[in-house]
Amino acid sequence: MQTIEQTLSAWMRESFTQAFPETTIHGISVVATNSEQFGDYQCNHAMAVAKLARKSPRQVAEVVLQHAGNHAAVERTEIAGPGFINIFIRREWLESALVLVDEDVRCGVPLVGHGKTVLLDYSSPNVAKPMHIGHIRSTVIGNALDRMHRFLGYHVLADNHLGDWGTQFGIMILGYRHYVNPDALSTEPVEELERVYVKSYERSRTDPAWLTFARQELVKLQAGDPENRELWQRFVELSLQEFDRIYRRLDVRFDLVRGESYYNQALPGVVDRLCSRGIARESEGATVAFLEEESLPPCIVRKSDGGYNYATTDLATIESRMSEFHPSKIVYVTDERQQLHFKQVFAIARRLGITADLQHIWFGLMRLPEGTFSTRQGNVIKLEKYLDEAETRALAVVQAGSPEMAPERQREVARAIGIGAVKYSDLSQNPQSVITFTWEKALSLEGNSAPYLQYAYARIASVQDKYRAQFPNTSLGHCVFRLEEAVERTLAIAIVRFPETVIKAAESYKPNILADYLYNLAATYSTFYQNVPFLKAPEGIRESRIRLCRVVANVLKQGLSLLGIETPERI
């Protein structure tokens, strides 16, 4: 099944080629108009062709439309402004397109990713540190990309690349031996591990002997010392248990959980290859890849003490993923601070002959109004606390709005709303914008927010029930759509744009495109709901409108599930 955008783009492309075989340009397509007065889709390429063909843009558009002839989906076209070609969709065609969306469990979304493997690297918290609200963006954005790609038919491998290796474990082990409180460890393990780490780290800054001991512990760990190895294993397991609890709350699942330690054995081989192929060489005792051709600063792949860096691990990781899974894309979702790092790693990977499409999807850091988060200032907000707060606030609203609901059900609904609000506040904006965190903003339950969308969905569910109760013997299955009111047509256009929106959001790695779309759909529906009667409409019209409600509900549910947001039937 093709999207409307694809269908009309092909039509225009063909028409341009026929009209101007000598001067056809690449990338001829249509886009959705930003205002209904300009039709439903527009093609903007007559202006560009006009220059090459030495004709006026409107003349070009005219000739193109002569060659275009009629299209089953198109009511009429017009030439406007400097040479825009505006396309108006035929109502009958729209009505039959709605039937297709209604009857398709995929809401008309094609499997454009079929046969392709994409590896997604996201969340990736550090072991022995609690997850805080800075981790939520990678997790929530990565998971939305995960869900969208899977839905489009890609073979997705979600990999949680834990920070489970590195120099901090020397300090960690030493601190654990001296400072750990067993009681605290059993009640709040990761919190206790962090406390121990911070204490040991602070001592290492003033006590040189302590730092030396810490280094020795690290060397022992890396040499495979059984005792240190076991401690390390314990840290990892305790952390994973806590992470899993959060992932369950967020409904996030990984196919692979391979921390940095997984690639340890491969590091010397990577450096050997880099050296033998002339990509890296000795410099001041370290092994360094020089990237002048890419105009990037040098990248250390082995320290002068023989240890390896993050870059080396990431290269080993890429090699391993390529040989085991053969992905066509590897996508990293991390914060903006790692832009340079990934530019370097990708440049080196290309020199090593890696051909997969490597993408770094970075997002802006989360800040507080008074500045950045820092452990030292003690203003870090723990992720679990954040989720608790979201659910608590949602519960108060549910209790006020639906007092007749059973308390157990209220809690369940509040959970879906609270978590949905948290996710939506991250997903509804461009990932690259810097976020200044405020409780009020993150947990907003009004306006452009997840609860608005969930509310629209629940109202439809309610309408469906009322309809079934009042008209028990009518089936919607074979009723025809009759788009009479202007807002119904607007709603129908919005509905059939779902497939192209999902594709665009996934391919540009911007979940906010889908979030925007869903908000617009829900807002259009709310206008319809508020201004057009349907249970009281005459038979026929009534069925058409109830069925329209049902399609909106299906698309909302499907779309929100691609963002990882639930849609309770009652809220």
- Of 457-516, binders to RNA (CB under 7 A) are 458-459, 461-463, 466, 510, 512-513, 516
Residue keyed to tokens 């506040």: 425
Stretch that binds RNA, among 36-44, 63-71, 90-98, 264-272 (CB under 7 A): 36-44
Contact between 305 and RNA by CB under 7 A: the answer reads yes
| Cα-based torsion angle of the residue sequence 20, 25, 31, 34 in order, rounded to the nearest 10 degrees | -90
Contact between 145 and RNA by CB under 7 A: the answer reads no
- Rank residues 185 and 221 by Cβ distance to RNA and give the closer one: 221
Contact between 375 and RNA by CB under 7 A: the answer reads no
Handedness of CA 363, 366, 370, 371 (dihedral sign): negative
Q: How many residues bind RNA (CB under 7 A)?
A: 99
Contact between 24 and RNA by CB under 7 A: the answer reads no
| Phi, psi angle pair for 119, to nearest 5° | -105, 125
CB 42 within 8 A of CB 31: yes
| Phi, psi angle pair for 361, to nearest 5° | -95, 105
State the minimum distance, in angstroms, from the CB of residue 339 to RNA.
5
**Range 218-247, binding RNA (CB under 7 A):** none
Contact between 363 and RNA by CB under 7 A: the answer reads no
Q: How far apart are the C-alpha atoms of 378 and 447, rounded to whole Å?
A: 32
Contact between 340 and RNA by CB under 7 A: the answer reads yes
Strands (E), 54-202: 74-80, 84-89, 117-121, 155-159
In terms of phi and psi (left: phi > 0; alpha: psi -120 to 50; beta: otherwise), the region of 78 is beta
State the minimum distance, in angstroms, from the CB of residue 70 to RNA.
20
What are the C-alpha distances in Å from 153 to residues 150, 507, 552? 5, 13, 23
- Rank residues 311 and 383 by Cβ distance to RNA and give the closer one: 311
Q: Which of 112, 307, 354, 474 binds RNA (CB under 7 A)?
A: 307
Q: Which of 7, 42, 77, 139 binds RNA (CB under 7 A)?
A: 42
State the minimum distance, in angstroms, from the CB of residue 432 to RNA.
6
**Range 79-118, binding RNA (CB under 7 A):** 80-82, 84, 86
**Range 164-183, binding RNA (CB under 7 A):** 165-168
Contact between 212 and RNA by CB under 7 A: the answer reads no
Q: How far apart are the C-alpha atoms of 473 and 366, rounded to whole Å?
A: 54
> How far is C-alpha 248 from the chain's CA centre?
18
State the minimum distance, in angstroms, from the CB of residue 181 to RNA.
26
State the minimum distance, in angstroms, from the CB of residue 105 to RNA.
24
- Rank residues 34 and 355 by Cβ distance to RNA and give the closer one: 34
Q: Which of 1, 25, 36, 51 binds RNA (CB under 7 A)?
A: 51
| Residue-wise DSSP of 147-179 | HHHHHTT-EEEEE---B--STHHHHHHHHHHHH
Of 336, 348, 501, give the one whose Cα is nearest residue 433. 336
Of 495, 461, 497, 474, give the one whose Cα is nearest residue 543. 474
Residue 253, H or E segment: none
**Range 397-456, binding RNA (CB under 7 A):** 397-398, 401-402, 413, 417, 428-430, 432-436, 441, 444-449, 451-452, 455
Q: Which of 48, 266, 275, 352 binds RNA (CB under 7 A)?
A: 48
Contact between 310 and RNA by CB under 7 A: the answer reads yes
**Range 265-294, binding RNA (CB under 7 A):** 283-286, 288
CB 193 within 8 A of CB 292: no
Q: Which of 233, 375, 535, 540 binds RNA (CB under 7 A)?
A: 535
Contact between 570 and RNA by CB under 7 A: the answer reads yes
**Range 116-135, binding RNA (CB under 7 A):** 126
**Range 247-266, binding RNA (CB under 7 A):** 260
Q: What is the largest CA-CA distance in the chain?
A: 87
